[in-house]
Structure 1
């Protein structure tokens, strides 16, 4: 399982739903100090939670490294501090909430490699922190992009990311093996 924060969870969820080996993606909240989290309080800025996605995957089909590759190359811009595109606030920060020390090592190493290679023009601001607790988001947030494909926010923010993942991860998409 991977728990990632990269701006609005609708967009990040839409990216990971495309990938083969990903069995489920749930939108939620993590990384805050309050004992509970819901959309209203998280967006109110009083809990310090981030909008996140919980990605469950089969490591025999897709590894944590590939999950991170999609995260850093498509799902969000890791150089934006406390914002992604039109969404501004700490709840939209870039973060990896690790569940094992192995995930922490891989995440730290991946970020260091990107920094050394100067992949981005600005410094990466992605936080790497332990997952304390995941709070599932409200039902209406789950699978939002798929259920609301004509929503203007989805058209301008999530759809380009889905198209990019389909182009750059064509061999890793659900059903790709059956098409070859």
Structure 2
């Protein structure tokens, strides 16, 4: 779905920045952001729970407080945080489904923004409000802004999963279409080069 440009633009200076996004299975979230110009890395991991529970086996139970999330490092002189938000809401996650994305159910698949600065928090709040007023979806937006906590990097086999497994059934059905949507809706932001971690 096409989303509007943010009215409130991020004001970020001083080199690379990081932001954390949760939008269902981290394979697709990482895959999309790895194809965005200005993104230097996209790392799959866990956010919202304890170190003890930061493993795929435990997170998939849905009882750890963690969300599958992706830590995105980007150059704001190329792509601003508000532009990343626009991409997130357009192609990464359905912001109207609570604790669910596609075929995946549970709080670990929730849609959430985890700002890493006061400026990101300000812009995220404003953009969610802007989208809510625009009524682009039939249902209300349930994407939450969560307080930053420790981000735990996921197991090695989850990193760059889309690039390593392009013919995996899940990737073909659920995640490749997101990258194609990025290419179609945001051609100026798309790069065919995959940012490997």
TM-score (norm 2): 0.86
Pick one of 81, 92, 97 that aligns with 2:109: 92
Does residue 35 in structure 1 map to residue 40 in structure 2? no
Partner in structure 2 of residue 73 of structure 1: 90
Contact 1:20/1:175 (<8 A) preserved: no
Segments of 5+ residues of structure 2 without an aligned counterpart are: 1-17
C-alpha distance in structure 2 between counterparts of 1:95 and 1:40, whole Å:
21
Q: Give the 3-state SS of the residue equivalent to 1:165 in structure 2.
A: helix
C-alpha distance in structure 1 between counterparts of 2:160 and 2:47, whole Å:
18
Contact 1:3/1:53 (<8 A) preserved: yes
Contact 1:5/1:94 (<8 A) preserved: yes
C-alpha distance in structure 2 between counterparts of 1:28 and 1:138, whole Å:
8
Give the total of aligned pairs: 175
Q: Give the 3-state SS of the residue equivalent to 1:99 in structure 2.
A: coil
Query: Structure 2 matches for 1:17-166, cutoff 5 A?
Result: 17-32=34-49, 34-36=50-52, 37-166=54-183
Contact 2:35/2:192 (<8 A) preserved: no
The runs of at least 4 consecutive aligned structure 1 residues that moved more than 2 Å come to none
TM-score (norm 1): 0.94
Contact 1:29/1:137 (<8 A) preserved: yes
Deviation at 1:175, TM superposition (A): 6.8
Structure with more helix by fraction = 1
C-alpha distance in structure 2 between counterparts of 1:67 and 1:105, whole Å:
14
